[in-house]
């Protein structure tokens, strides 16, 4: 414990680590959350081409959006959809770029009522669709979901067993859907789910030199005489890096949740995720989706931190470790479309490569002949990765110190 405390204090004393933590908080919480709520995403717009021209009135606009949604009722049915369409047109087409739920209404029309689309106009369907034709909301939703799954089966992405599994999961979604203003929760869950990728560069900069820094500081010979031994020192260094990762997650996630409580409150936590994506199959509400996103990001950060420290233990060059660590997260995106599907799927299970928004998708991985829904696999994979990396890093660094 004493050795861990020494290593952890030593890690935080490094200027680069403290700068990384501060920049991560500024980027992920102040810029990527507070300013989004108050200005960039939820601020009112005068139809400007750039979000940077939005007004700094997000807090007030969120209350306006909630009031507009409350006028449509507390359940999502064809009646609610008709009211959305009617209100949008009576208000003089306020624009689909706002965070009001007009964009959800347009999504429902496009996905569930494609037969009402007018090919002779370039206007969104919400402008001209006849409300009287918006019938059988849940029947059309079921048909659209089955068509999508069948198309994916024909493309070889799903098997018949996968389709049956996803439909069984969807059968547990309660109808009619609870409805309140949903865009705020959609942003909260989606942005939190992608937070891991945003923290990846800061984790890489902070941890890529955990083992390689002593070669640059000239302290490597002293490590041979350390009273604790090489393996204990390596373990203490790894656990101090994991503690830093957990602290960074708590700093960022805590800041984002605080901002969410201030701007959104707790209203709407029990909205099913199908309100924001009508073809999602998970029987979860927004609070459950956010809890999954937090667990997904935390596990991904822990798994990624172990990979970064393994790379640091593998060689004397911290820069090389840093480049390789960044490549783990960003190279799969660059190679997307150039690799076989199975290779892309294998790369996507690496920590922080995908976001927690996978809960809205119907991706299935096949393990030993059984289909596993992608979110279940992706949230579990960082655990064995971390468990494998720790002993490898200890062994590699200890062996290197003998040379």
The verdict on pTM exceeding 0.85 is yes
Residues of the chain with pLDDT > 70, as a percent, come to 94
Tokens at 310, concatenated? 């393994």
Buried b (16+ CB within 10 A) or exposed e, 349-367: bbbbbbbbbbbbbbbbbee
For helices 382-401 and 230-263, give the axis angle rounded to 10 degrees.
140
Q: In what helix (H) or strand (E) does residue 195 lie, and over which residues does it extend?
A: helix 195-207
Q: In what helix (H) or strand (E) does residue 365 lie, and over which residues does it extend?
A: strand 364-367
DSSP strands (E only) in 60-183: 75-76, 177-178
* 246 CB burial (10 A radius; 0-12, 13-18, 19+): middle
270: DSSP letter? T
CA distance 171 to 151: 19
Displacement of CA 256 from its chain's centroid (Å):
13
- Please name which of 214, 228, 158 lies closest in space to residue 374, comparing C-alpha atoms: 158
In the predicted model, what is the mean pLDDT of residues 281-294? 97
- Asked if residue 113 lies in contact with residue 134, where contact means CB atoms within 8 angstroms, the answer is yes
pLDDT digits (tens, 9 = 90+) for 16-73: 999 999 999 999 999 999 999 999 999 988 765 667 788 899 999 999 999 999 999 9
pLDDT at 100 over 50: yes
Alpha carbon dihedral 315, 318, 319, 322, in 10-degree steps, equals 100
pLDDT digits (tens, 9 = 90+) for 323-381: 999 999 999 988 887 888 888 888 889 999 999 999 999 999 998 889 999 999 999 99
């Amino acid at each position: 414990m004493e050795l861990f405390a020494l290593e952890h204090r030593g890690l935080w004393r490094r200027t680069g680590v403290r700068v990384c933590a501060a920049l991560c908080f500024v980027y992920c919480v102040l810029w990527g959350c507070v300013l989004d709520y108050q200005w960039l995403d939820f601020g009112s717009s005068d139809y400007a081409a750039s979000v940077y021209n939005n007004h700094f009135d997000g807090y007030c606009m969120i209350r306006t959006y909630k009031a507009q949604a409350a006028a449509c009722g507390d359940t999502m049915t064809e009646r609610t959809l008709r009211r959305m369409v009617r209100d949008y047109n009576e208000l003089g087409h306020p624009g689909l770029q706002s965070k009001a739920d007009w964009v959800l209404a347009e999504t429902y029309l496009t996905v569930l009522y494609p037969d009402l689309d007018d090919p002779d106009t370039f206007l969104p369907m919400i402008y001209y669709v006849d409300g009287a034709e918006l019938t059988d909301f849940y029947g059309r939703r079921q048909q659209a979901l089955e068509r999508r799954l069948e198309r994916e089966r024909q493309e070889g992405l799903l098997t018949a067993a996968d389709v049956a599994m996803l439909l069984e999961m969807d059968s547990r979604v309660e109808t009619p859907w609870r409805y309140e203003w949903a865009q705020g929760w959609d942003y909260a869950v989606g942005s939190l789910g992608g937070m891991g990728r945003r923290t990846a560069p800061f984790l890489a900069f902070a941890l890529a030199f955990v083992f390689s820094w002593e070669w640059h500081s000239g302290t490597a010979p002293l490590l041979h005489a350390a009273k604790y031994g090489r393996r204990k020192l390596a373990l203490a260094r790894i656990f101090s890096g994991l503690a830093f990762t957990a602290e960074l997650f708590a700093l960022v996630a805590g800041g984002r949740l605080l901002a969410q409580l201030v701007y959104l409150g707790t209203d709407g936590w029990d909205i099913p995720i199908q309100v924001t994506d009508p073809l999602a199959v998970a029987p979860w509400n927004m609070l459950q989706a956010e809890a999954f996103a937090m667990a997904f990001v935390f596990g991904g950060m822990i798994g990624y931190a172990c990979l970064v420290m393994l790379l640091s233990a593998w060689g004397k060059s911290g820069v090389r470790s840093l480049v390789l660590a960044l490549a783990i997260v960003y190279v799969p995106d660059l190679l997307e479309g150039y690799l076989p599907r199975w290779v892309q799927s294998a790369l996507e299970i690496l920590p922080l490569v995908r976001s927690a928004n996978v809960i809205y998708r119907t991706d299935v991985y096949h393990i030993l002949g059984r289909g596993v829904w992608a979110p279940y696999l992706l949230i579990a994979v960082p655990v064995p990765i971390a468990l494998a990396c720790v002993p490898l890093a200890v062994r590699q660094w200890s062996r290197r110190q003998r040379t």
